[in-house]
Every structure is written in C-alpha cells, then in structure tokens.
Amino acid sequence: MLEIRDLEVCYGKIAAVRGLNIEVRAGELVTLIGANGAGKTTTLKYISGLLPATRGSLTFKGQDINGTSAAETLAMGIAHCPEGRRVFPYMTVEENLEMGCYLRRDHQAIQEDMAALFERFPVLKERRRQAAGTLSGGEQQMLAISRVLMSRPKLVLFDEPSLGLAPNLVERTFDIIREIRDQGVTVLMVEQNAFAALELCDRAYVLESGKVVLQGTGADLLKNPDVREAYLGG
C-alpha cells in the first residue's frame, strides 16, 4: 500500500532522515521505534505532505505521491493523528469531528459515521457541545482518533498515541488502534512505548539516525537481544 525508497528529509543542512526504505502492506499495522531524533515523526510528516523531501520516492497504492500537499494526501485516504492530539481547543467536540470530514460531501454517511463514533465513545457524545480544550488528556485522544476516522481513511498515521496518558488509558488506546486495523484500515504508528508497540504490530522498523537498522515482525524484534537492551530494558 505504501512504499518509501531512499528518503532524505532535511531541516536546513541537517538530515533528519537519510536513505530510509520502508513499506506497509494493505491491512498491516506497522510501527516505527527508535530514540528521540531518529527520524520517526519526520517520516510521518513527509508521508502526510507536511514536509518536503530532499530526495527519495513515495508511492501509495502504486501511485507516485511524492510532493503532494497535505490536503491532496488526505483526499487520497491517508490521515494523520499527530503527536500531542492537536485538537482544536476552542471548538466543540462535534466541530472537531466535522473538521475531520471537511473533504467529504456524503452528508448522510457523515451523520451515520458520527453516530457510530458517539456509540463507540459515549463520553464524546455526552460532551459533544463542550469545548475540546476542556476535555481530559484521554478524552482528547479519543477525540483525535475519532476525528481521523471521520475522513474514512485507508491508511492512518499515528504519532505517539500513548504520550501523556495514564496506564489504563494507554491500554485502551492500543486496543482501539488494534480494532481499527482489524476493521481493515492500514496503520503506520510511531510509538515510544516500544514493548507495547512491538506486541501490537504485525511488523516493525527500528530507526537510528534517520535510517532503518533493524526490521522484522513484532514478535521477532521482541526477542532480539539488541532491541531488548536498547529499548526494552534488557
């Protein structure tokens, strides 16, 4: 579904990603792990059209989408759930959800999707008229995920979905991401909680200094001694 080849992305003269090669197959949940500064978030921003590349290629469903805008990328079916949730704080919960489907014109289906999300997350229904900035961190994460799903994506990019959440909410968030994958939506996820990410994913890439140093199934990487020492506490 998604293929990146020889990617280089720079901030000024500093290369944040260098020679990156990854692929994501339809229906998979793939995760990127690595230390801060490894290039994980930069990769997601590039895919979603928020950052340009110095060189490299990007194909989605066999189509070259290198250099497309964020709006064009979303219209193709790639949705980005950013680090820190980034809800619109002064807009209501319902207005945030409407922002997630601003490219859609199927009004009846939009209402059906919103009703389904309110059934899935009753707290959002209860607070649909409430400003999103007044929600708790966990509620904002549920809203951010719901806003992404309102676009009916084919591929979702999750950036640090567990960041800042209480342990019980982390587990709930990963359960939701698993459900999204099981419903046929492809997922590419960046996550600092390496153990949980590797348990959850089908395959994973380990990034260091902007390039892939290891790859394999989540189960295999959980058993890899180098991964265990570097990211799982031995």
In the numeric block, the tokens 């180098």 are attached to 226
Label each residue of the chain as H, E or C: CEEEEEEEEEECCEEEEEEEEEEECCCCEEEEECCCCCCHHHHHHHHCCCCCCCEEEEEECCEECCCCCHHHHHHHCEEEECCCCCCCCCCEHHHHHHHHCCCCCCHHHHHHHHHHHHHHCHHHHHCCCCEHHHCCHHHHHHHHHHHHHCCCCCEEEEECCCCCCCHHHHHHHHHHHHHHHHCCCEEEEECCCHHHHHHHCCEEEEEECCEEEEEEEHHHHHHCHHHHHHHCCC
Q: Is 105 exposed, middle or buried, given 0-12, 13-18 or 19+ CB atoms closer than 10 A?
A: exposed
Q: What is the mean pLDDT of the chain?
A: 92
Average pLDDT over residues 10-17: 91
pLDDT digits (tens, 9 = 90+) for 125-135: 999 999 999 99
Domain residue extents for the chain: 2-231
pLDDT for 230 equals 79
CA distance linking residue 80 with residue 52, whole number of Å: 16
Whether residue 59 contacts residue 65, with contact meaning beta carbons closer than 8 Å, is answered with yes
**What tokens appear for 217 in the block?**
């199934």
pLDDT, tens digit, 9 for 90 and up, residues 49-98:
999 999 999 999 999 999 899 999 999 999 999 887 789 999 999 999 99
Interval 89-148: pLDDT, tens: 999 999 999 999 988 889 999 999 999 999 989 999 999 999 999 998 889 999 999 999
Is it the case that residue 187 has pLDDT exceeding 90? yes
Average pLDDT over residues 5-22: 93
In tens, the pLDDT along 160-184 reads: 988 888 888 888 889 999 999 999 9
For residue 211, the cross-strand partners are 208
Predicted pLDDT of residue 233: 61
> Widest CA span of the chain, in angstroms?
52
Entry pTM: 0.91
Q: In the prediction, which pLDDT does 104 show? A: 82
> What are the tens digits of pLDDT across the range 26-45?
999 999 999 888 999 999 99
Distance CA 97, CA 28 (A): 25
Please count the residues of the chain.
234
- Whole-Å CA distances, 176 to 44, 93, 218: 20, 19, 18
Q: Residue 150: what residue type?
A: M
CATH code of the domain made up of 2-231? 3.40.50.300
> At 226, is the pLDDT very low, low, confident or very high (cuts 50, 70, 90)?
confident
Structure tokens at 146: 């719901």
